[in-house]
Amino acid sequence: MATRIGEIIPKVIEKIVKGKPIKAREGSGYGGLVDTWNSLVGKETAAHTRIKGFKKKVLYILVDSSPHLSHLLMEKETILRRLEEIVPEVREIKFRAR
């Protein structure tokens, strides 16, 4: 019997974030990474961002406006250091305004 892709993806993502539990979130395949991002940047800032992808140790973030993008770029190194402590696989963050 074939394994459904919906059963495989959460397991793969869980391995990526070193065994941290992955919670399925509506509209996202990044689960625990979304929760981690939201807690790191805070509720207000998180409301203006969305994880676009995670590939080759780079976390891609979409930002809804230039002012929020500027704020995140100023805080990038601090956010990245804190994120690396929780998810060591993330080595870079790239932001892009929508």
4-13 contacts: CB < 8 A, separation 24 or more? none
> In the prediction, which pLDDT does 25 show?
35
Sort strands 58-63 and 49-55 into parallel, antiparallel or unpaired: antiparallel
Domain containing 70: what range? Answer: 5-97
Residues 6+ apart with CB under 8 A from 45: 68, 71, 72
> In the prediction, which pLDDT does 6 show?
60
End-to-end CA distance of the chain: 42
The domain total for the chain is 1
> In the prediction, which pLDDT does 19 show?
44
pLDDT tens-place string over residues 39-90: 999 999 999 999 998 889 999 999 999 999 999 999 999 999 999 998 888 9
For position 69, which CATH number holds?
Answer: 3.30.300.180
Distance CA 53, CA 30 (A): 8
Q: Average pLDDT for residues 36-40, to the nearest whole number?
A: 91
How distant is the alpha carbon of residue 73 from its chain centre?
16
User: Rounded to two decimals, what is the model's pTM?
Assistant: 0.69
